[in-house]
Amino acid sequence: MELGPDEYLAGWDPSASRLFLAALSGARLGARIAIRITIEGTGIGATVVGPVIAVRHVAGLALPPGDFNERDPRFAVAWGVTLAGTLAGERGQLAAQTENVSSEGCALSWRGTPVEAGTRVTLRRRRLLAPALPARVCWSAIEGGIASAGLHLEGGGRAAYAWREALAREVHQGAQAL
C-alpha cells in the first residue's frame, strides 16, 4: 500500500501507537495482518504487523473479482539464504536473511543494493545440499543501506517440497504467524 506523506501522518495516532488505513479488504475485527506500506516519493517502506482494531464498511466499495491476491500465511522465520541471478545489472549472488516465510515465498533483507522488482532469481537456504528454488522479485526497497525484497517461489518438485517441509518444522517448533 502506497501512502502520501500527508495521508500517512493523518492516519497516525502517536498517543495510541495506531495507524488508520483506509483499505479495501475483508479484514475481520481482531485478525492479525501484515501490510507493506511505502511513503510515496521517499523510498521509505516497512511491513507493519498487528491486529485489526476497527472495521468500517462503506456501501458500494468493493474490489472486482480476481483483483485481491490471497496469500498463504507467513511466519516469522529467520533463515540464512543465498540469492543468485542478475543482481544490480551483473550476474552474481548475495547472502541474505529471511524476515518471514510462507509456502509460496518470503521477504528477505541484506546490506547492499536492492534487486529490481520483476527480476528472476534463484534462492537457496544456506545448508549443505539445499536445493535451489527459482523465484521472482515481487517488490524491492532500501532503507539505511539495508535492501529488502519480497520473493514469490516459482518452482516445484524436490526444491519446493524441501522448502515447505522446512517451514512445517519451523511452525511445529512454534514460529509465530504474522
**Which superfamily, per CATH, for 80-172?**
predicted glycosyltransferase like domains (2.40.10.220)
Q: Is 107 exposed, middle or buried (0-12, 13-18, 19+ CB in 10 A)?
A: buried
DSSP state of 33: E
Q: Cβ atoms within 10 A of the Cβ of 138, count?
A: 15
pLDDT band at 62 (very low <50, low <70, confident <90, very high): very low
Which range has the worst mean pLDDT, 38-42, 97-101, 114-118, 168-172? 38-42
Which range has the worst mean pLDDT, 23-27, 77-81, 163-167? 23-27
Above 80 in pLDDT, residue 35? no
- Rounded Cα–Cα distance for residues 140 and 147 (Å): 7
**Residue found by looking up cell 488508520 in the block:** 20
Helix (H/G/I), strand (E/B), else coil: 55:
coil
pLDDT of residue 44: 83
Domain with CATH 2.40.10.220 in the chain: 80-172
- Rounded Cα–Cα distance for residues 20 and 46 (Å): 15
- Rounded Cα–Cα distance for residues 133 and 125 (Å): 9
CB contact at 8 A, 49 and 34: yes
